[in-house]
Amino acid sequence: MTALPGAVALAVAGAGVDPDLHGDGLLDALYRAIADRGGYVHGPVVGDTGFVVELLVPDRATFAGRTEELALAWALLFLMGERGEIGACGVWQ
């Protein structure tokens, strides 16, 4: 069982992150995948509704999740989208 929701787990698996990892193993894999894409995050900060991480590089953006893993996964998915790793699967003419 993964610490991430199904659709998010499938998406981060596309980045080479094993969603079945737990604890520090999953956190390390998410941080590594973010760094591999040129990203740098600050946090996490624990808020009223969960965890918040701030992507500082390449674009400044804030991501929240009920767990630290989920907040980092959202930051990773943002970077994957920016790099064209997820999104449209074909060329439309």
pLDDT digits (tens, 9 = 90+) for 4-43: 888 999 999 999 999 999 999 999 999 999 999 999 999 8
Provide the β-strand partners of residue 72: none
Instruction: Outline where DSSP puts E strands in 1-93.
Output: 40-46, 51-57, 61-65
Confidence at residue 88, expressed as pLDDT on a 0 to 100 scale: 55
Confidence at residue 1, expressed as pLDDT on a 0 to 100 scale: 59
Q: Is the pLDDT of residue 89 over 80?
A: no
Q: Is the pLDDT of residue 91 over 90?
A: no
Report whether 74 contacts 82 (CB < 8 A).
Answer: no
